[in-house]
Amino acid sequence: MGLKFTILGCANSYGVPYAGNDWGDCDPNEVRNRRTRCSLLVQSENTSIVIDTGADFREQMNIHKVKTLDAVLYTHKHSDHTAGIDDLRIYAIRNKAPLCAYLDSDTLDYIRTSRDYILETKVKEYPAMLTTHTVEPYGHFTINNDLKVQTHSLNHGSIISMGYRFGDVAYSLDMKDITDNRSFDALYGIKTWIVDAGAYKSEHNPVHATFDRIIELNQKVKASRVILTSLSNRIDYKQASSELPDGYEIAYDGMTIKS
């Protein structure tokens, strides 16, 4: 078996519909418009990991019946990517050991400052549930002696996000742009690119990329399949799909990719 990727969620920070049943420009009758916060499940025959644990993490694990995890990876510290972190505790309990988290130093500082009990045993009834492995923007690591991962750096407004590559599939979010050639080097040769295009047509969005910017960047990356994610309620699945060139797709919750 190769790798299986499941897009657990593809929404921007609000989820779709936004609270208050606000569908914006999205057709409520199109099931692919119902979106939870961004997360990706990556599975090999022996290893299962998730990237990011937003507010919908527990629901996503229940929908996909994921009972065990070998590791969690974080792209960046923003709440819509980390708010569900407490729901990792059950995975540490099932593993009978803290779960390994791969994250950059900024995200580690954020967790240490906001939820120190996750990393340290403060009282014996609630043992630390994560061990951490700090990752650098242009590095490699292997999970479980099985899953090879390569990192790349992404510009996300005032912070840097960590992109991850698994073989010929890469996951790049959140991001407004890529400016470092080392990131293009790290992405060289991928076939499938799951990438933040949450700004849609709004060039003034300070933190997310427009569709046009991703199409420009892919002239260098050269992925044959580009899956756009981090989607707001302004991005209707069918309408936005009809505007895209061949090789570009709108993500939806539950979408799977095999490599």
Rounded distance between C-alpha atoms, residue 103 and residue 189, angstroms:
24
Region from 21-29, 71-79, 107-115, 240-248 binding Zn ion, contact rule CB under 5 A: 71-79
Which helix or strand (DSSP H or E) is residue 230 part of?
Answer: none
Options 77, 78, 176, 208; binder of Zn ion; rule CB under 5 A: 78
Within 163-182, which residues bind Zn ion (CB under 5 A)? Answer: 174
Within 40-59, which residues bind Zn ion (CB under 5 A)? Answer: none
Integer angstrom CA distances of residue 6 from 171, 190, 259: 12, 17, 12
Region from 77-85, 129-137, 145-153, 227-235 binding Zn ion, contact rule CB under 5 A: 77-85
Total residues at the site for Zn ion (CB under 5 A)? Answer: 2
The one-letter code for the residue type at 154 is L
Q: Does 208 bind Zn ion (CB under 5 A)?
A: no
> What is the arrangement of strands in the sheet containing 248-250, beginning at the earlier edge strand?
140-143, 147-156, 159-166, 169-172, 192-196, 225-229, 248-250
Phi, psi of 58, deg, nearest 5: -60, -45
Output the smallest distance, CB 75 to Zn ion, in A.
Answer: 8
Tokens of 29: 């009758």
- β-partners of residue 170 are 165, 193
| 33 torsion bin: left (phi>0), alpha (psi -120 to 50), beta (else) | alpha
C-alpha dihedral sign at 59, 64, 65, 71: negative
Output the smallest distance, CB 76 to Zn ion, in A.
Answer: 6
How many Å separate Cα 26 from the centre of its chain?
Answer: 22
Tokens of 103: 């994250």
Output the smallest distance, CB 248 to Zn ion, in A.
Answer: 22
Region from 76-84, 115-123, 216-224, 232-240 binding Zn ion, contact rule CB under 5 A: 76-84
The smaller minimum CB distance to Zn ion, of residues 113 and 158, is found at 158
Three-class SS state of 49? strand
The smaller minimum CB distance to Zn ion, of residues 189 and 206, is found at 206
Output the smallest distance, CB 238 to Zn ion, in A.
Answer: 26
The smaller minimum CB distance to Zn ion, of residues 129 and 175, is found at 175
Q: Does 104 bind Zn ion (CB under 5 A)?
A: no
Output the smallest distance, CB 137 to Zn ion, in A.
Answer: 16
Query: What residue ranges bind Zn ion (CB under 5 A)?
Result: 78, 174
